[in-house]
Chain A
Amino acid sequence: SQELEQSPQSLIVQEGKNLTINCTSSKTLYGLYWYKQKYGEGLIFLMMLQKGGEEKSHEKITAKLDEKKQQSSLHITASQPSHAGIYLCGADINGNNRLAFGKGNQVVVIP
């Protein structure tokens, strides 16, 4: 069974619009990590969340972890073509620095 569920699986937005993607676990997470991947390339680390209710922002991307540490959202404000790609969430589920990953959210930004 998939330990991390990401939704929606794919998303098409007009440039300039906001978007939100989600990552959900049935277990309490020790840490939640967001990555971005362009097809055929490695994963780029975006943000790490560890505390319930934590929120972090970098440029136009904001990530939040809920109080129960089971759900995270990634919000992009005024999306640009450079935001297109696959967003993967990874989580430390057992507290051993081994990450489980979701299948990803594919984001397409139309100019």
Chain B
Amino acid sequence: SQTIHQWPATLVQPVGSPLSLECTVEGTSNPNLYWYRQAAGRGLQLLFYSVGIGQISSEVPQNLSASRPQDRQFILSSKKLLLSDSGFYLCAWGAAARGEQFFGPGTRLTVL
């Protein structure tokens, strides 16, 4: 069966510090991978998606970047965090031929 992991579970970072959130998927090959941010009152916003190694598409301009160094690894990064980067970050995977996505447990990021 497939599983998806995210770490860390929670993170408190000062403004201006770097960020690296990691997501890994087990039990499937060549998944589509997604990063979402969930902010209070704003719903779930798609940030990045990837259909393969090294292939990243950004949905919205922002202070964040994503990378996919391996087939089942997806990383969300920032060089300098802003207060507005606070939120709940969710990684998801989906099979290329199907629409449903399966979500990880999330990372709660607080930027102070």
Contact = CB atoms under 8 A, between A and B. Distances in A.
A97 interface: yes
Contact of A99 (B101, B105, B108): B101
B46 A88 contact: no
Contact of A103 (B41, B49, B88, B103): B41
Contacts of A88: 43-44
A45 B100 contact: yes
> Interface on chain B toward A: helix, strand, loop, or mixed SS?
strand
Contacts of A41: 105-106
A104 B39 CA distance: 12
A41 B108 CA distance: 9
Contacts of B108: 40
B24 interface: no
Nearest to B91: A42
A31 B105 contact: no
Interface string A12-48: 0000000000000000001101010000111111001
Contacts of A48: 99-100
Size bracket, chain B contacts: 20 to 34
Contacts of B99: 30-31, 33, 48, 50, 92, 97, 99
A103 B94 contact: no
Interface string A92-110: 1000011111111000000
Contact of B106 (A33, A40, A45, A104): A40
10 contacts: A33-B99, A42-B103, A42-B105, A43-B90, A88-B43, A90-B44, A92-B99, A97-B99, A99-B101, A101-B43
Interface of B: 6, 32, 34, 41-44, 46, 49, 59, 88, 90, 92, 94, 96, 99-106, 108
Interface of A: 2, 30-31, 33, 35, 40-45, 48, 50, 88, 90, 92, 97-104
